[in-house]
Amino acid sequence: MNELSKIDRALPWMLVTPALLWTLLFFVVPFVAMALLSLNFQGEGGMTVSNYSQFFTNPSYYRAMINSLEVTGLVTVISVLLAYPFAWILAEQIPQRLQRLALLLAILPFWTSYVVRSYSWLLVLAQNGVVNDALLRARLVTEPLQLANTRTATVIGFVHFFVMLLTLTIFASLKQLNPSYRKAAADLGAGPIRTFIYIILPLTLPGVVVGAFLTFVLAIGDYITPQILGGNNELLMPQLIMMQIGRRGDFASASALALILMAVVTIAYIACARWLKIERT
């Protein structure tokens, strides 16, 4: 125990280095490269913030951020409002032995590829798709509605995914609640409604907030759903970024936009962490 051989001392480092190296080479370095590119770093000390200022001055650029925030906010709120009662029903109203099955069924469509899932919504919402077909047959409309290639379609596509995700997380949160709390609340005179309002809801709120944060982060950085379902009428940030890379090969601009997006996510993260900390004390 006193004299460690050379191998013994080097062993921990030998095991840790590969992971560290990989992260440094393929995550940190690209990040730094992107940051430098975004500042138009020319090597002789020529740096400009033109790519960033362009974001604030060019309407089609900051418009994309506003669209992203609006859509993501809407998706988060709607998904939480739809998922919570659903998770609650799965956790409380369904008999215990069926709960696992019910939950599994609720998240089954997770197993379709993400691209395919968005495509499926395109099928459903297309002008000659299933929804319009049904509406026409029921004579609720005389002409097919423009559902696909709209913000609505993007929102629906996102909500579909995140309702499943949030149902999972909120279900877990509800299940983890100590049953003694419910007994105590009942003992002290609270019926099922008041037990929910005063005890269950506040105690599951942190889990909901974490799920909402996850929703926000994943949605705002997603390229696939808005591209397939929203079309090019209204651009969201990921689409704008991809456009810079694809069409114009303008990596500097794209990098700047990507870092701005990251900054927004970081702000959301800090706000969330703060709120969770306050909840604790």
Residues 175-214 touching another protein, rule: CB under 8 A, are: 178, 180-181, 183-191, 194, 198-199, 202-203
* 245, 250, 272, 276: which one binds another protein (CB under 8 A): 245
Task: Build a one-symbol-per-residue string for 257-276: x at contacts with another protein by CB under 8 A, - elsewhere.
Answer: -x--xx--x---x-------
* 2, 96, 128, 142: which one binds another protein (CB under 8 A): 128
Nearest distance in Å: CB 213, another protein: 11
Name the token pair of 14. 């030998």
- Residue 44 carries which side chain, given as an amino acid letter? E
Q: Distances from the Cα of 270 to the Cαs of 53, 65, 80, 101, in angstroms? A: 24, 19, 20, 36
Identity of the residue, 69 or 122, whose beta carbon is nearer to another protein in the bound complex: 122
What is the phi-psi region of residue 178: left when phi exceeds 0, alpha when psi lies from -120 to 50, beta otherwise? beta
Name the token pair of 116. 């395919």
Q: Applying CB under 8 A, does 95 fall inside the site for another protein?
A: no
Residue pointed to by tokens 């921990």: 12
Nearest distance in Å: CB 23, another protein: 5
* 78, 145, 209, 242: which one binds another protein (CB under 8 A): 242
Name the token pair of 84. 């919570």
What is the phi-psi region of residue 66: left when phi exceeds 0, alpha when psi lies from -120 to 50, beta otherwise? alpha
Report residue 120 CA to chain centroid gap: 20
Q: Applying CB under 8 A, does 122 fall inside the site for another protein?
A: yes
Are residues 170 and 249 in contact, defined by beta-carbon separation less than 8 angstroms? no
Residue pointed to by tokens 């809407």: 74
* 40, 54, 120, 152: which one binds another protein (CB under 8 A): 120
Residues 69-88 touching another protein, rule: CB under 8 A, are: 82, 85-86
Nearest distance in Å: CB 78, another protein: 12
Identity of the residue, 49 or 98, whose beta carbon is nearer to another protein in the bound complex: 98
Identity of the residue, 147 or 261, whose beta carbon is nearer to another protein in the bound complex: 261
